[in-house]
Structure 1
Amino acid sequence: MKTFEFTVTVTQEDLDELNHVNNIRYIQWIQDIAKAHWQEIATEDIYKAYFWVVRRHLVDYKASAHLHDQVKITTKFINSYGATAKSIIEMHNKSTQKLLLKAETTWCLMQTRTKRPTRVPKEIDEILK
């Protein structure tokens, strides 16, 4: 499975009252990397014809990130079945390599035209691998 990654730097706006990254921000970063990954791997025709929606996030928060930390975020698809695909997301402190978060997300593929779920076609299954 191909891994996609990017890095974010924690800003003041990412912090909660305990001065560590707010849990909601981690969820936003999961969404952000998923969108960037899809834009990277999908052809223009596929991107126009399909989109993904979240069915389920399973998130294990392991450690805190703080102001100015660089967080390396990685994702990869692990399988697809029917109209769904699963991805694994990990977030690490870039300088210490400490695991901050591990999540598994189940996505549902939707047709842009109908706004309805659709089975993952072979052409998409191939780019997820």
Structure 2
Amino acid sequence: MQSFFDISHTVQSDEIDSQLHVHNLRYLQWTLWAASKHSADSGWISKLAAADGLGWVVRNHDITYRAAAVAEDQIVVRTWVSEIERYAALRKTIVCRPADQTVLARVKTRWVYVNLWEHRVVKIPENVRELMIVAPTPPMPWE
């Protein structure tokens, strides 16, 4: 299992805003898709956890936009877990366009582990920690 996970995506015309580039909410959507798919690929079964009243909730997102994407751009969304604390995990994501080696956005998301029934943050259990590979920043997709 790799320490990072990629989603390849072609920017669709319905993702373009009135300024003729990708709307900023799409970057957030892509980030969440990548996190979900990476977690599932690592063995996390969200439906089973939710049935037990447990899951991950976003505490905060920090997005730095660096360049614009436009319709038909081929992008890669690369994500990885950079640290795990007692109650939270920090996931980093880059959104890039390999064709011209451009980083479009850098994202940091702090996820907290919660008891969904009691609506409170709880300690991340060891069996959940074992599913997560903490990794340094991976190479860019074009490297």
Q: Could you list the per-position Cα deviations for residues 29-63 of structure 1 after superposition, in whole angstroms to 9, with x for gaps in the alignment? A: 1111111111111244x751232111010110000
Partners of 1:83 and 1:117 within 8 A in 2: yes
2:78 is aligned with what amino acid? T
* 2:27 is aligned with 1:23: no
Partners of 1:109 and 1:118 within 8 A in 2: yes
Match of 1:127 among 126, 131, 140: 131
Q: Secondary structure at the match of 1:54?
A: strand
Partners of 2:79 and 2:93 within 8 A in 1: yes
How far the C-alpha of 1:117 sits from its partner, in A, is 2.2
How high is the TM-score relative to the length of structure 2?
Answer: 0.81
Q: Could you list the per-position Cα deviations for residues 76-104 of structure 1 after superposition, in whole angstroms to 9, with x for gaps in the alignment? A: 00111121100110011031221000011
Please identify, of 103-112 and 51-60, the stretch whose mean Cα deviation from structure 2 is larger: 103-112
Provide the C-alpha distance between the structure 2 equivalents of 1:111 and 1:29, rounded to a whole number of angstroms: 26
Provide the C-alpha distance between the structure 2 equivalents of 1:118 and 1:39, rounded to a whole number of angstroms: 21
Matches within 5 A, 1:14-93: 14-44=15-45, 48-49=48-49, 50-93=54-97
How high is the TM-score relative to the length of structure 1?
Answer: 0.89
Q: CA RMSD in A?
A: 1.8
For structure 1, list consecutive stretches of 5 or more residues without a partner in the other structure: none
Task: Go from structure 1 to structure 2 and tell me whether the alpha carbon gap of 1:114 and 1:38 turns closer, same or farther (over 3 Å shift).
Answer: farther
Please identify, of 9-18 and 47-56, the stretch whose mean Cα deviation from structure 2 is larger: 47-56
* 2:101 is aligned with 1:100: no
How far the C-alpha of 1:67 sits from its partner, in A, is 0.5
Q: Secondary structure at the match of 1:95?
A: helix
Q: Which residue of 1 aligns with 2:140?
A: none
Provide the C-alpha distance between the structure 2 equivalents of 1:89 and 1:56, rounded to a whole number of angstroms: 14
Identical positions, percent: 26
